[in-house]
Structure 1
Amino acid sequence: MLKKLKEDIEVIFEQDPAARSYFEVMLTYSGLHALWSHRMAHWFYKHKLFFVARLISQVSRFFTGIEIHPGAQIGRRFFIDHGMGIVIGETCEIGDNVTIYQGVTLGGTGKEKGKRHPTIKDNVLIASGAKVLGSITVGANSKIGAGSVVLKDVPENSTVVGIPGQVVIQNGVKIKNLNHGDLPNPVGDRLKAMDEEIQMLRSELEALKGGSTDDNSNL
């Protein structure tokens, strides 16, 4: 346990250049506080003391803004950077050397039972605001871009961006030429299609009105 606690601090110094001292990190890093609270809550959860486990997690959520269900399994050297708004579900499994940023959700897609949250393999980075939803697997050494919504399995050594998430790089090779200014926008595409359909219906209506006027003038 002491070795894990030490690793939890050391990974912060490796990942965050703003970290200056052990004293500062232990007292001011909310991600570390949330992780340590989770390790305690998870111990009670495994011993079927579910109320105590959930109480600890909710108190931690109140003070840190990070909600980690006590049933979630988290590996070693887990780093939460600027953790406000992070949500990690009950059946989520997180490997070693994983980094996540603020606003990330590792959640479910409905009221299904059993394994309903993601499995995150080793050395994964999940950027700000990304949503990884459902019982899917994010392969080792992969990166999820900021604001992405991932609903399908991600292969190892991949980079995923967009809504829904698409693999754009795999094993160092570009799969798709997708720039930040050219991300998928299904809502915008649907609205554009609806607008085009409305314009077409208006044209047809005007044509019908014109035909009706011509018929009346011949009477």
Structure 2
Amino acid sequence: MFARIKEDVHSVFARDPAARNFWEVFFNSPGLHALWCYRLNHKLWQAGWFFLARTFSTVARWFTGIEIHPAATIGRRCFIDHGMGVVIGETAEIGDDVTLYHGVTLGGTSWQTGKRHPTLEQGVVVGAGAQILGPITIGAGAKIGSNSVVVKHVPSHATVVGIPGRVVTAKAPELAADSAKQQRAAIAEKYGFDAYAVSYDNPDPVANSIGKMLDHIHLLDAKINELSCALNKLGGDVCEQQLPELNLDDQDFCKAEQLAKQKRQQHDDFDPKI
């Protein structure tokens, strides 16, 4: 039992940057408290103590704001972040290493008995306020966007957003080996963000469009250089000078920041009364 509790606490450290030490997480994580109460209630439910299990689950909901039916099935290292408003139905099944944020509902769409709640496979991440309804399966490693309403099966490693939920990325493909996309990947790795949709599971259509335009411009530059060389070989007089590359190094950013500071300082020193 203590090994399982220790495993739960360490799983929080892996997914919550606000976690500072063991005892802080142990005493102040309502998601963990709700899961520990659920395990006790689940044992009571399996033993046939249905009323007692439901009563204790209600008490746990009062203290944590998280409602977990004692008949639900939850795997190891499940992490409920913040937790307020989370509802997990009776026939819901949650795999290992699943992450749920606040306001998530794993609900049913029918009053019929039997399987009526969703199944979340290993490694699924469900954003805040999302609703997953019905006896559907969310494939391993899938991501459900915040406030999405999902009523259909989701394949593994897919990203789902919107109402109703739609798959915007079936699976993150490998980056092509062309120089433009390699440059975007290098910029993203250097500065720690998804530069121009270099991350292919990014559902932002604007960022994806910017990335495609950059690839298109890079290809046009290469073709213009080839045409210029070919025309010069035929006796033309086309400038073969290469276009300057966009180099985002640290010195450029430092110079730009210094200029910006100088302009701000000049603005602050300006006295309108003079």
* Residue 186 (structure 1) aligns with: none
The answer to whether 1:144 aligns with 2:144 is yes
Q: Is the 8 A contact 1:167 1:175 kept in 2?
A: no
Per the normalisation by structure 1, the TM-score is 0.79
* Residue 13 (structure 1) aligns with: 13
The change in CA–CA distance for 1:92 and 1:179 in structure 2 (over 3 A counts) is same
Deviations 1:183-207 (A, max 9, x none): xxxxxxxxxxxxxxxxxxxxxxxxx
The change in CA–CA distance for 1:100 and 1:175 in structure 2 (over 3 A counts) is closer
> Which has more strand, going by share of residues?
1
1:175 is displaced (CA, Å) by 9.6
Q: Is the 8 A contact 2:86 2:104 kept in 1?
A: yes
* Residue 188 (structure 2) aligns with: none
| SS state at 1:58 partner | helix
1:2 is displaced (CA, Å) by 2.6
1:177 is displaced (CA, Å) by 6.7
Bigger relative CO (Cα 8 Å, ≥ 6 apart): 1
Structure 2 gap ranges (5+): 174-199, 207-274
Q: Percent identity between the aligned chains?
A: 55
The change in CA–CA distance for 1:165 and 1:48 in structure 2 (over 3 A counts) is same
Deviations 1:45-98 (A, max 9, x none): 111110111111100000110000000100000000010000000000000000
1:22 is displaced (CA, Å) by 1.5
1:170 is displaced (CA, Å) by 1.2
1:171 is displaced (CA, Å) by 1.5
* Residue 167 (structure 2) aligns with: 167
* Residue 130 (structure 2) aligns with: 130
Alignment RMSD: 1.7
Structure 1 gap ranges (5+): 181-219
The one-letter code matched in structure 2 to 1:56 is F
* Residue 27 (structure 2) aligns with: 27
* Residue 55 (structure 2) aligns with: 55
Q: Is the 8 A contact 1:41 1:53 kept in 2?
A: yes
The answer to whether 1:115 aligns with 2:115 is yes
Q: Is the 8 A contact 1:148 1:163 kept in 2?
A: yes
Q: Is the 8 A contact 1:167 1:176 kept in 2?
A: no
| SS state at 1:51 partner | helix
Alignment of 1:172-183 (within 5 A): 172-173=172-173, 179=205
The one-letter code matched in structure 2 to 1:76 is R
* Residue 231 (structure 2) aligns with: none
1:23 is displaced (CA, Å) by 1.3
* Residue 101 (structure 2) aligns with: 101
Q: Is the 8 A contact 2:77 2:98 kept in 1?
A: yes
| SS state at 2:51 partner | helix
Distance 1:97 1:125 in 2: 9
* Residue 4 (structure 2) aligns with: 4
* Residue 70 (structure 2) aligns with: 70
Distance 1:43 1:73 in 2: 11
| SS state at 1:70 partner | coil
Q: Is the 8 A contact 1:168 1:178 kept in 2?
A: no
* Residue 236 (structure 2) aligns with: none
The one-letter code matched in structure 1 to 2:124 is V
| SS state at 1:152 partner | coil
Distance 1:134 1:82 in 2: 24
Which protein has the larger Cα radius of gyration, Structure 1 or Structure 2?
Answer: 2
| SS state at 1:132 partner | strand
1:176 is displaced (CA, Å) by 11
* Residue 158 (structure 2) aligns with: 158
The change in CA–CA distance for 1:51 and 1:161 in structure 2 (over 3 A counts) is same
Q: Is the 8 A contact 1:86 1:104 kept in 2?
A: yes
The change in CA–CA distance for 1:175 and 1:39 in structure 2 (over 3 A counts) is closer
The change in CA–CA distance for 1:26 and 1:159 in structure 2 (over 3 A counts) is same
1:28 is displaced (CA, Å) by 0.9
Distance 2:140 2:94 in 1: 11
